[in-house]
Amino acid sequence: MEITYLRENILESINKLPIEMLEELYKFISFLEYKSLLDSSNSKEEILKNFKNALEEMQRIKRGELKPKDADEFLNEL
């Protein structure tokens, strides 16, 4: 997949998210950045895959297919 196309799709998906999901996305991205600093063995592909999975999960929450997690549940998964 071409990087420009991927970037456009990600930005388009992010722009459609409600503020609550944007806050969770920001936390997740911050976590990924922190994790990548600690574990340099994470490949760029793995980080992008995790990011894509997070976006897909947020879209499922938005469509009502998945129940959103509260902050405690989210932190416990980390």
CA-CA distances (angstroms) from residue 1 to 4, 6, 18, 44, 46? 9, 7, 27, 14, 15
Q: Which residues contact 2 (CB under 8 A, 6 or more apart)?
A: none
Domain enclosing residue 53, as ranges: 3-77
Task: Give the predicted TM-score (pTM) of the model.
Answer: 0.42
Q: pLDDT per residue over 1-29, tens digit each? A: 587 888 888 888 888 888 888 888 888 88
78 has pLDDT over 60? no
Q: Please state the domain count of the chain.
A: 1
